[in-house]
Amino acid sequence: MLGRLPTCLVLFGALAVAVPVVAPSLIRFDEIAQKAGLQFTLRNAAAGQFHQIELTGGGVAVLDYNNDGCTDIFFTNGAAIPSLRKTGPEFFNRLFRNNCDMTFTDVTAEAGLTGEGYSMGAAVGDFDNDGFADLYVVGVHRNILYRNMGNGRFSDITAKAGVAGVDPRYGKMWAVSAGWFDYDNDGWLDLFVSNYVVWDGAKEPRCGSPERQFYCHPKEYQGLPGQLFHNNHDGTFTDVSQQSGIGKHIGKGMGVAFADMDGDGLTDIFVANDSVRGLLFHNDGQGKFSEVGLESGVALREDGYAIAGMGADFRDFDNDGKPDLVVSGIINDSFLLFRNPTQSGRLFDDYAQRTGLLMGTRQLTGWSLGMYDFDNDGWKDLFFGLSHLAELEKYLGRDSALPNRVFRNVEGKKFEDVSAAAGSAFQRAAMHRGVAFADFDNDGRVDAVVTVLNGPAKLFRNVSGGQSHWLALRLRGRQSNRMGLGAAVHVQLADGRDLYNAATTSVGYASSSEALVRFGLGANKTAKWIEIRWPSGGVQRLTNVAADQILEVDEGAKP
């Protein structure tokens, strides 16, 4: 596009050689699931009865379950309807071990993770601080906590731990997502469960017409509260939903994301709700939360409309040190982007319009998503797993399957849809659902694993070009939780830029991403300094850190 540049810019560009500049690279992905032996098909058991549970599900989690330094993949799966039983291997959840050569081996049986019930989402966290990532799997009336035994096997400890999710008032609930975080900074991960709606297969409402039956709108179902479980440090949890204030708020919960939105050292919670307003729980300390979505300006779309919120990520897109919020929705909702205010007491700014995301996503239906720096230029981009609701073809006159989309962050000011240049495999439409993010081949570029409703899962290997450098931090908490979830990291580059990120696995919808804290450094070969604010309150500073490495950071290490 040189021909379109004003002459003065072309001349200036030719002369400006003093500062290191890396040309913006194209974000590109190869799809390698089959080649990598990652053969998984998500089954929703749809058989023309239009059960609501068929629409959701498809969560995927990434974890290094055997601590070999290579990230493994866990898929949730459906079950027969109405029995909600995994009547055959086609409904098993699956764990794939990364062989560290970008191939995967199905180790479900030996890991003991075939699962039970109609599974939806998964959350990864080391709840017992033993150094092995554990797994919480949620679904329709059945949630399971798997403790990683450290020997390649997982043990179902749900009953003993007290996290079955059965509510005294609502009984067994349908959960879509869950997430691990340490809300009281006591060094042990607590558990948040995002519950959707009351569902009984025998009393499924009928919607549409006899000629044209369709899935009912969520308004036909009663909403549910989220749940909060406090970690008792002994392998058990206490349901603190009511006393914390979380349980007072009814929603139709889908994705959940965590961040310390106001820098007070306490992790806050955002829940994307389907067709009712989003909930933002401010962590007041002392085990209490206040719901401030309305007051913060993130509860609804700018016109007061409740979008069909699906996935969420709570990260800083404009490098101002404050976590921002992105939420996906369905066609004609537009996805939401809220910028955290620079001044305290102000509202989150609605940034979807001015960044181009509003109109750029208006015809899309998004499920999981993630805000990651795919081209390592120092600005976090957006990846959306997309597909319209199943059976929507007859209403739209076009296929429900959609290709995914990636939007490049242009210096925190614009999101530019660069999907068309993201590779031929990226253009293929499918019924995408869950997405989890990790660097599976440890090359410094963030990859994505995507589930497909009744189709083969996809593994998008990031093959973006360019010479950009990167840095990843693997945190090892001591006073803080072992995985360091909730740690906020500030990096200053040699060129003076400041970058921010935080440790979380709770990203998108029904899914769980790697816990490493990543930074794209652009042309910088070192980070001038790195500051880690641990959940314990401790601050650690590292100086002159070389790029292009996974840095192990121990909270207890001497400076």
Partner 1 sequence: MSRWLAAFLLGAGLAGGQTAPAKAAYEKANKLFVAKKFPEAAAAVSEALRLDPDLVPALTLKAKLEMASNHFEQARHALEHALLVDPKAEYAQFLYGLEAYVTNEMAEALPRFRKARQLNVKNPRAALYLGLTCESLGNTEEAMALYREAVRLEQAKGSVDAETLLPGARLLSLQGHLEESEKWVRQALKAAPNFRDSHFELARVLLKKGDAAGAVAEGETALRLTGTIVTDAQIHYLLIRAWRENGSPEKAALQADLLRSLETPKGR
Kindly list the residues in this chain that would bind partner 1 in the complex (CB under 8 A): 197-198, 209-211, 218-223, 250-252, 276, 294-295, 297, 299-300, 302-305, 332, 345-347, 353-354, 358-359, 362-363, 394-398
Give min distance, CB of 376 to partner 1, in A. 30
Give min distance, CB of 392 to partner 1, in A. 9
Give min distance, CB of 558 to partner 1, in A. 45
DSSP3 helix / strand / coil % (the chain, rounded to 5): 10, 40, 50
Give min distance, CB of 50 to partner 1, in A. 15
74 close to 93: Cβ distance less than 8 angstroms:
yes
> Smallest Cα–Cα separation from 228: which of 190, 269, 282, 274?
190
Cα–Cα distance, 261 to 337 (Å, whole number) = 14
**What is the DSSP pairing of strand 549-554 with strand 469-476?**
parallel
Of residues 214 and 529, the one with the C-beta less far from partner 1 = 214
Q: Where are the beta strands (DSSP E) in 349-446?
A: 349-350, 366-372, 381-386, 405-410, 414-417, 432-438
Give min distance, CB of 224 to partner 1, in A. 9
Cα–Cα distance, 412 to 415 (Å, whole number) = 8
Of residues 164 and 250, the one with the C-beta less far from partner 1 = 250
**What is the DSSP pairing of strand 29-31 with strand 455-462?**
antiparallel
Strand partners, 271: 256, 279
Of residues 180 and 348, the one with the C-beta less far from partner 1 = 348
List the alpha helices (DSSP H) in 181-259: 241-244
Of residues 130 and 399, the one with the C-beta less far from partner 1 = 399
Of residues 209 and 286, the one with the C-beta less far from partner 1 = 209
Give min distance, CB of 249 to partner 1, in A. 10
Sign of the C-alpha dihedral computed for residues 140, 142, 145 and 146 taken in this order: negative
**What is the DSSP pairing of strand 190-195 with strand 227-231?**
antiparallel
Burial 309-323 (b: 16+ CB within 10 A, else e): bbbbbbbbbbbeebb
58 close to 76: Cβ distance less than 8 angstroms:
yes
Q: How many helices (H) and strands (E) does the chain have?
A: 7, 39
Of residues 169 and 558, the one with the C-beta less far from partner 1 = 169
Give min distance, CB of 443 to partner 1, in A. 37
Of residues 197 and 547, the one with the C-beta less far from partner 1 = 197
Judged by phi (left if over 0) then psi (alpha if -120 to 50, else beta), residue 69 lies in: left
How many Å separate Cα 254 from the centre of its chain? 11
Give min distance, CB of 340 to partner 1, in A. 14
Token duo for residue 430: 């499918």
Cα–Cα distance, 87 to 265 (Å, whole number) = 46
Give min distance, CB of 250 to partner 1, in A. 6
Of residues 153 and 362, the one with the C-beta less far from partner 1 = 362
Give min distance, CB of 395 to partner 1, in A. 5
Of residues 10 and 359, the one with the C-beta less far from partner 1 = 359
Of residues 40 and 196, the one with the C-beta less far from partner 1 = 196
